[in-house]
């Protein structure tokens, strides 16, 4: 018997609907409880919000692009370098990817990976090599920081892609940093994973995969050692996808094969994004601290959009910013049905 519980509270709200001559109408919504943390999330506005189209060539226009420090003509003189004690050569490169320190750091060792030479890169041009080089450069940097300063136990990588993801520049880039303060979502998941392990003597993340595979409602597919699922409680308005490496617990366990599995899955996901009109996302790669076997490495990605391109209304509101409550307009089980065929293709 599984210790993973998926709790859904179905609710209805009644009103006199002007779209139906003010007849009484009951609209459904859901509240879901995350099986790991116990935190709630709302699902509502079903089908009412769609991704908004971005005309990417606009971001190449000089009046919009401005002086981008990540572009090749400015990169060497406009971006900082690491101190020699951290990175003797100041910056590191791999293919098109370039690792630099963040001018506005999130932590003691806060890196930025400029992913491409091109300024505007649509999803179809985020090639295997570009993604592999960026992730491997960031992972190697974090491994190096772990040897340099073991007092920072948490390793994170993050990616804001295209407006309205919150990235300061359209030029593709990722963040990577080692920290003592990994954020509340991470801390909640870490503490809950430890409690689950102490209570049941099993790794939550493997148990979660096993139960989702058994149910067959949100399990999308496997690529190598990675498992891809539609999140039961999405953190993004348009749903989100989580990729779990159940046997990887720390960044030292994460190797080139794992990066290749992650990259291959992203190519399939990006094909779905292109077909569904998704232009922007937030993504994060989480590694567990040293000396534990209960917090598995996982990657989460959530599409972003404007509610409309008339007012450029963002897709976050009081629920997310002040209530700390995720809201999604996508039913995870329907997302899984739509996305699974992309993962079954070779």
Which tens digits make up the pLDDT trace of 6-24? 999 999 999 999 999 999 9
Quick check: is 31 in a domain?
Answer: yes
Per-residue pLDDT at 345 exceeds 90:
no
d(CA 247, CA 226): 9
Question: What pLDDT sits at residue 308?
Answer: 84
- How many domains does the chain contain in total? 2
Helix (H, G, I), strand (E, B) or coil at 224: coil
**The whole model's pTM is what?**
0.95
pLDDT, tens digit, for every residue of 214-250? 999 999 999 999 999 999 999 999 999 999 999 999 9
Position 117 confidence tier, pLDDT thresholds 50, 70, 90: very high
Per-residue pLDDT at 108 exceeds 80:
yes
Per-residue pLDDT at 309 exceeds 90:
no
Same domain (yes/no): 112, 162: yes
Most confident range, picked from 24-28, 213-217, 312-316: 213-217
Same domain (yes/no): 20, 125: no
pLDDT, tens digit, for every residue of 164-181? 999 889 999 999 999 999
Per-residue pLDDT at 346 exceeds 80:
no
Position 292 confidence tier, pLDDT thresholds 50, 70, 90: very high
Same domain (yes/no): 84, 186: yes
Position 114 confidence tier, pLDDT thresholds 50, 70, 90: very high
d(CA 302, CA 231): 10
Same domain (yes/no): 121, 212: yes
Same domain (yes/no): 21, 120: no
Containing structural domain, residue 31: 7-43
pLDDT, tens digit, for every residue of 31-74? 999 999 999 999 998 877 888 888 888 989 988 888 999 999 99
Quick check: is 152 in a domain?
Answer: yes
d(CA 158, CA 167): 11
Quick check: is 1 in a domain?
Answer: no
Mean pLDDT of the region 276-286: 96
pLDDT, tens digit, for every residue of 328-344? 999 999 999 999 999 99
CB proximity list for 346: less than 8 A, separation 6 or greater: none
d(CA 109, CA 178): 6
Same domain (yes/no): 19, 143: no
Question: What pLDDT sits at residue 63?
Answer: 87
Per-residue pLDDT at 198 exceeds 90:
yes
Quote the mean pLDDT of the chain.
95
Quick check: is 85 in a domain?
Answer: yes
Q: Please, which residues bridge with residue 214 across strands?
A: none
Mean pLDDT of the region 297-307: 95
Same domain (yes/no): 330, 284: yes
Taking CA atoms, 135 is separated from 102, 141, 159, 170, 263, in Å, by: 17, 10, 10, 18, 9
Quick check: is 208 in a domain?
Answer: yes
| Diameter over CA atoms, the chain | 72
Mean pLDDT of the region 250-274: 97
Answer whether 28's CB lies under 8 Å from 12's CB.
Answer: yes
């Amino acid at each position: 018997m599984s210790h993973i519980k998926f709790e859904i509270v179905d609710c209805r709200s009644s009103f006199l609907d002007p779209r139906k001559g003010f007849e009484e109408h009951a609209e459904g919504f859901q509240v879901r409880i995350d099986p790991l943390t116990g935190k709630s999330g709302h699902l509502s506005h079903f089908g009412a919000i769609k991704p908004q189209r971005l005309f990417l060539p606009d971001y190449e226009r000089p009046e919009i692009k401005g002086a981008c420090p990540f572009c090749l003509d400015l990169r060497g003189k406009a971006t900082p370098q690491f101190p020699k004690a951290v990175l003797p050569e100041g910056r590191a490169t791999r293919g098109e990817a370039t690792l630099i320190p963040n001018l506005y750091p999130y932590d003691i060792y806060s890196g930025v990976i400029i992913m491409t030479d091109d300024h505007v890169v649509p999803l179809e041009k985020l090639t295997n090599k570009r993604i592999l080089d960026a992730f491997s450069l960031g992972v190697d940097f974090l491994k190096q920081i772990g040897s340099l300063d073991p007092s920072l136990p948490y390793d994170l990588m993050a990616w804001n892609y295209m407006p309205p993801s919150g990235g300061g520049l359209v030029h593709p880039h990722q963040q990577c940093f080692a920290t003592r303060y990994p954020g509340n979502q991470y801390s909640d998941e870490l503490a809950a994973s430890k409690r689950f392990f102490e209570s049941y003597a099993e790794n939550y993340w493997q148990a979660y995969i096993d139960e989702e595979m058994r149910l067959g409602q949100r399990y999308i597919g496997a690529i190598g050692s990675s498992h891809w699922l539609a999140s039961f409680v999405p953190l993004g308005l348009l749903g989100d996808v989580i990729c779990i490496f159940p046997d990887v617990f720390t960044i030292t366990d994460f190797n080139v094969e794992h990066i290749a599995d992650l990259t291959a899955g992203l190519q399939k996901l990006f094909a779905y994004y292109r077909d569904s009109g998704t232009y922007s996302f937030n993504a994060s790669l989480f590694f567990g601290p040293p000396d534990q076997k209960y917090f598995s490495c996982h990657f989460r990605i959530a599409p972003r959009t404007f509610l409309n391109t008339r007012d450029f209304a963002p897709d976050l509101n009081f629920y997310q910013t002040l209530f700390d409550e995720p809201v999604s307009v996508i039913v995870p089980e329907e997302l899984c049905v739509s996305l699974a065929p992309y993962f079954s293709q070779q």
